[in-house]
């Protein structure tokens, strides 16, 4: 893999770690990883997007970035103000935003916040979540409080080896290869063992969810071309709720294109697939379709 450049950003009392590929003078692509992943999620896709400066950020609570304060949360909108600050520091030109899974939800909100400063939006096996519509709001809030207490009290998690970490991550739909790609920014060596760096609070549910009307309003405000790439064996090809999310996006986003590529939920990390993903993204960036 191509060795990236390490970056650091400080905003709102938080430090965000990032890695980048490409030249400073090239158009900026801001890449946002999925739940419990980190910037190395783009270790194969980043250098394949030749002609662009790809900046992959460790979102707060992930990788080498700061954990949020104890009175804060990890809702999908919490990183948006800091990401806008990072965009300001990177360039005064338009940027391209790419997001995977949970990062696709964050990327959608970021694109809406940036407005005309975002030229293109690419969503990889992810959209705004739609699974909260039928949940009782009070019950969800009570669940959030219970889980917040639970995960605040959780002790550091250790693994005997990187291989054990990779085996555990396989339970969340990862291949062993994909999990091992993330390990250098997911683990810290401590006393002969490997400590998990991600904030345990990320395992907890949200206090509230965007409802259908809010999702539709956000989608309709996206004036930029949007490309959704789904893995044939990803989440969006086998789940009815996720299919509804795709239908909502297609009906509401003014300039929306979707495509399916053979691969898993983490298709952008798969060596045999990433070239196809990169090719499709570059085609989209050059044509808008």
Beta-bridge partners for 14: 11
134-184 per-position pLDDT tens digit: 667 888 899 999 999 999 999 999 999 999 999 998 877 778 999 999 999
pLDDT at 228 over 80: yes
Predicted confidence band of residue 217 (pLDDT cuts 50, 70, 90): very high
Instruction: Report d(CA 73, CA 245) in Å as an integer.
Output: 24
Q: What average pLDDT does range 109-117 have in this prediction?
A: 97
- Helix or strand (DSSP H, E) at 166: helix 162-169
Question: Which residues carry out catalysis?
Answer: 101
User: According to the model, what pLDDT value does residue 106 have?
Assistant: 98
User: According to the model, what pLDDT value does residue 40 have?
Assistant: 97
The candidate with the shortest Cα–Cα distance to 78, out of 110, 50, 101, is: 110
pLDDT at 133 over 70: no
pTM for the predicted model, two decimal places:
0.95
Strand order in the sheet with 118-124: 5-11, 14-21, 53-57, 28-32, 95-100, 118-124, 226-233, 256-264
Q: What average pLDDT does range 254-279 have in this prediction?
A: 94
**Residue percentage of the chain with pLDDT more than 90:** 81
User: According to the model, what pLDDT value does residue 239 have?
Assistant: 66
Q: What average pLDDT does range 227-244 have in this prediction?
A: 80
Instruction: Report d(CA 102, CA 94) in Å as an integer.
Output: 23
- Quote the distance between the C-alpha of residue 206 and its chain's center: 16
């Amino acid at each position: 893999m191509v060795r990236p450049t390490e970056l650091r950003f400080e905003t709102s009392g938080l430090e965000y770690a990032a890695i980048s590929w490409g030249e400073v003078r090239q158009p900026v692509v801001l890449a946002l990883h999925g739940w419990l992943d980190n910037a190395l999620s783009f270790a194969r896709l980043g250098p394949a997007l030749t002609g662009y400066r790809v900046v992959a950020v460790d979102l707060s609570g992930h990788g080498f970035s700061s954990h949020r304060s104890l009175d804060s949360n990890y809702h999908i909108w919490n990183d948006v103000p800091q990401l806008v600050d990072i965009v300001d520091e990177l360039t005064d030109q338009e940027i391209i935003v790419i997001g995977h899974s949970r990062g696709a939800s964050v990327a959608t909100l970021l694109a809406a916040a940036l407005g005309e400063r975002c030229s293109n939006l690419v969503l990889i096996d992810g959209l705004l979540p739609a699974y909260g519509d039928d949940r009782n709001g009070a019950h969800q809030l009570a669940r959030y409080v219970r889980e917040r207490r639970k995960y605040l009290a959780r002790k550091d998690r250790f693994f005997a080896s990187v291989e054990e970490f990779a085996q555990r991550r396989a339970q969340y739909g990862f291949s062993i290869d994909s999990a091992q790609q993330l390990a250098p920014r997911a683990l810290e060596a401590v006393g002969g063992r490997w400590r998990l760096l991600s904030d345990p609070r990320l395992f907890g549910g949200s206090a509230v969810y965007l409802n259908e009307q809010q999702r539709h309003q956000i989608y309709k405000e996206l004036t930029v071309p949007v490309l959704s790439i789904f893995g044939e064996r990803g989440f969006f090809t086998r789940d009815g709720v996720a299919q509804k999310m795709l239908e909502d996006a297609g009906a509401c986003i003014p300039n929306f294109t979707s495509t399916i590529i053979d691969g898993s939920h983490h298709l952008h990390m798969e060596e045999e697939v990433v070239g196809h993903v990169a090719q499709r993204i570059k085609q989209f960036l050059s044509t808008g379709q």
